[in-house]
Chains A and B, each alone.
Chain A
Amino acid sequence: MGAGTCLAIAAGRLVAWGARTFQLGGGTALPGLVALAVRPMLLQELAERLPHGTIVVAGTNGKTTTARLIAELLHGSGYSVVHNRSGSNLPRGIASAFLERAALSGRLAGEIAVVEVDEFALPTVVRALAPRVLVLLNLFRDQLDRYGELETIARTWQNALQTLPAESLLVVNADDPVLTALTSRAGARRWTFGLDDPAIALPTLPHAADWRLCPQCSSELRYERVLLGHLGAYRCASCGFARPSSDVAGRAIRSVVPLRIEVTTDGRAFVLESRLAGVYNAYNLLAAATTGLALGLDPDRLAEQLARVEAAFGRQERVTVDSRELTLLLVKNPTGFNEAIRLLLAAGQHPPTLILVNDLDADGRDVSWLWDVDFELLTGLAAPVSAGGIRSGELALRLQYAGIEPAGRYSGVVEALDRWVATLPPGGRGWILATYTATLELRRELARRGLAPSFWEQ
């Protein structure tokens, strides 16, 4: 370990200490940014010190939850885990997570790392970390003004896969045709997972489905079964491209709490249970389990560990405000929003719902994606729906076009929270669906008021 490395660690840790001491925010990105400026190779150098390597998790939706599931799984299996738990998923955020565990000598207090990574940062991170396992969850349309079109991200990932070491393992969602095509010729050993349950299939491909053409020959893809967005059992009539059989298959899925999946792999069967809800979390759970199996963990012990994991920040998190019990759901893109609505309807509680939409950089400044969300399904919710956030007007108009007259329209996030909560009966329940920065603002305010959040339970 050279002097430059020690200097970079010292600089990063000093910044982290300063940020904490002077309360300049969480310090999840700046320490890494400074340390990488001092020593661009720092991530490589620290990752090489991990005896059990790094697990990298990528995907449009579910990466925070899945990385958390895998980290808890490994922690429960006795490993000391480095993890960018805050969801800060650019190289600087990942470096910050490593710095937290690095001594000035360069020694790392950790045996294995679990890292979630931003879609565009994947090539850089794969090159730096040379991951032992790369988990690919899904690719959906997300913040077009920031990420561009889906094909652009797919090309970025293609580049990342080319630098993946041959001895790495790939854990891939077989239900996503884009990922199947991307990884079909990769050198690394591929573990595929998928959901095999016609009972939870959607009647048709949703409007927001992103991939309707065969990724190999551009003919129309035929779906035998659609499970979520463009995920499902697909086949191209013209070139024969089709969903591969999955190494780890989930069946008989119960998507409300307690979530339950029967898993079969290599002639063995076991059951996964979780306090997380929704079909999207069934995918996250199966991805984590597949990663565990790929690492050689025992299925039953793995299931036991996964059952204990609680929701990540703002994802099905439950808080009490003025005696009202609120459940927070993060919504970032059409497919994720559709799944939140699906969960809302499946939960069958029909509480009043507040939707908060911001259009800051981290949310995507373009709100046209709201028109691709199937708000029409919310007419099945026997409860009032209100709109808030910076773009509450756009949202209210969208709701009206969906046949839902908004019960209230509030500007801002905190103001919306207080005025909406006041309309709920004391002791009553409510759901809040919020975009990324609205969730952050909400969480900051709840923390300021000392409302220690209790997690989702039922």
Chain B
Amino acid sequence: MRLRIGWLYARTMNIYGDRGNVLALVERCRRRGIAAEVVELGVGDPLEPGRYDLFFWGGGQDREQIAAAHDLRGAKGEALRAEVERGVPILAVCGGYQLLGHFYRPHDGPELPGLGIFDAWTVAGERRMIGNVVVDSPAFGELVGFENHSGRTYLGPGTEPLGFVRIGHGNNGEDGTEGCRYRNAIGTYLHGPVLPKNPQLADFLVAAALRLRGWEGELPPLDDELAAVAHAEAVARARDQERAQRRRWFRRP
């Protein structure tokens, strides 16, 4: 069995250790005897329908995010939308997540159009939301990661949140939601990176890709001892941080 992973804007939108997500996908395939090939899809590269089994899209700086938004206008964006509708799994983090929604509205300057795959939109905020995050996800259980964004994302009725924040800010710091899901597409603000420490999420994406190829069954479990250690460690740090913050508030005159 072979899987082909399309890594959107691999060279330009990768600033938060996003490579770790691709590493996790490839390695978890390899350990199960599935060969995973990674194809980097940069600005100007075509996106051929049917060629990719799974997509990953990370976060980037403003300049790079704007370049990606322009690149996805027209046929390339339409192709990606059609693939998501067909059920091809995609994980989009931070900047990529924002561009899968309807638009990103900055403080000044023109609105950045998104693909509208998610019924969601993002508005630039005043305060940057930074810190460890622990999320309770109905589908995936406890998720842990690190957020660092000033954009506030709001979900419409056509999409559901990935989960609800126990610690941290999530989509907008107001409604308690984090990330979103539509068909096999997942958007999230969690980096860290998210997949190595939350392997159930990686396996969901791999299984969805395999099912689209007509495969039926369960993925054999892997030895995830170190992933569990790193996950627990990150949750503990999130708690420490929350406690420290509460002390800081308490001390404030």
Contact = CB atoms under 8 A, between A and B. Distances in A.
B77 interface: no
B132 A365 contact: yes
Interface in A352-410: 359, 365-372, 390-394, 396-398, 400-401, 409
Contact of B226 (A371, A390, A400): A400
B191 A368 contact: yes
B148 A366 contact: yes
Contacts of A393: 226, 229-230, 232-234
Interface stretch (A96-104, A144-152, A318-326): A144-152
B20 A368 contact: yes
Given A151-B61, A218-B67, A396-B230, A212 B196 contact: no
B19 A151 contact: no
Interface string A77-119: 0000000000000000000000000000000000000000000
B131 interface: yes
A313 to B, nearest CB: 27
B170 interface: no
Contacts of B16: 144, 366, 368
A189 interface: no
B130 interface: yes
Contacts of B192: 366-368
Contact of A401 (B14, B20, B146, B237): B20
A212 B148 contact: no
Given A397-B226, A400-B226, A365 B146 contact: yes
A365 B63 CA distance: 25
Interface in A143-172: 144-145, 148-151
A213 interface: yes
B61 A371 contact: no
Nearest to A359: B237
A141 interface: yes
A75 interface: no
B20 A390 contact: no
Interface in A115-154: 141, 144-145, 148-151
B193 A365 contact: no
A144 B148 CA distance: 8
B197 A397 contact: yes
B12 A144 contact: no
Contact of B12 (A213, A370, A401): A213
Interface in B82-139: 128, 130-132
A206 to B, nearest CB: 11
Interface string A327-340: 00000000000000
A207 interface: yes
Contacts of A394: 197, 230, 233-234
B29 to A, nearest CB: 13
Contact of B230 (A210, A365, A366, A397): A397
B17 A369 contact: yes
Contacts of A365: 130-132, 146, 237, 241
Interface residues of B, number: 37
Contacts of B64: 213
Contacts of A148: 128
Interface string A208-249: 001011000010000000000000000000000000000000
B166 to A, nearest CB: 18
* Most B CB within 10 A of own CB, among A148, A150, A151, A368: A368
Nearest to B234: A394
Nearest to A368: B17
Contacts of A369: 17
A210 B12 CA distance: 9
B212 interface: no
Contacts of B67: 213, 218
Nearest to A391: B233
Contact of B17 (A359, A370, A392): A370
A150 B146 CA distance: 19
A150 B64 CA distance: 12
A393 B232 CA distance: 9
B24 A401 contact: yes
A373 B196 CA distance: 15
B79 to A, nearest CB: 22
Contacts of A212: 11-12
B219 interface: no
A141 B18 CA distance: 14
A218 B63 contact: yes
B75 interface: no
Contacts of A210: 15
B27 interface: yes
Contacts of A150: 61
Interface in B4-39: 11-12, 14-20, 23-24, 27
Given A218-B63, A401-B27, A396 B20 contact: no
Contacts of B174: none
Contacts of B191: 366, 368
A372 B17 contact: yes
Given A151-B61, A400-B226, A401-B24, A390 B237 contact: yes
Given A149-B15, A213-B67, A371-B23, A397 B61 contact: no
A178 to B, nearest CB: 12
28 contacts: A144-B15, A144-B148, A145-B130, A145-B131, A145-B146, A148-B128, A149-B61, A151-B62, A151-B63, A207-B14, A212-B11, A213-B64, A359-B237, A365-B237, A368-B191, A371-B19, A371-B196, A372-B17, A390-B237, A392-B233, A393-B234, A394-B230, A394-B233, A396-B229, A397-B197, A397-B227, A398-B20, A409-B229
Given A144-B15, A365-B241, A372-B17, 11 more contacts: A151-B63, A365-B130, A366-B130, A371-B18, A371-B196, A392-B233, A393-B226, A393-B232, A396-B229, A398-B196, A401-B24
Interface pairs A-B: 6 shortest CB-CB:
A368-B17, A371-B20, A371-B17, A393-B233, A393-B230, A393-B229
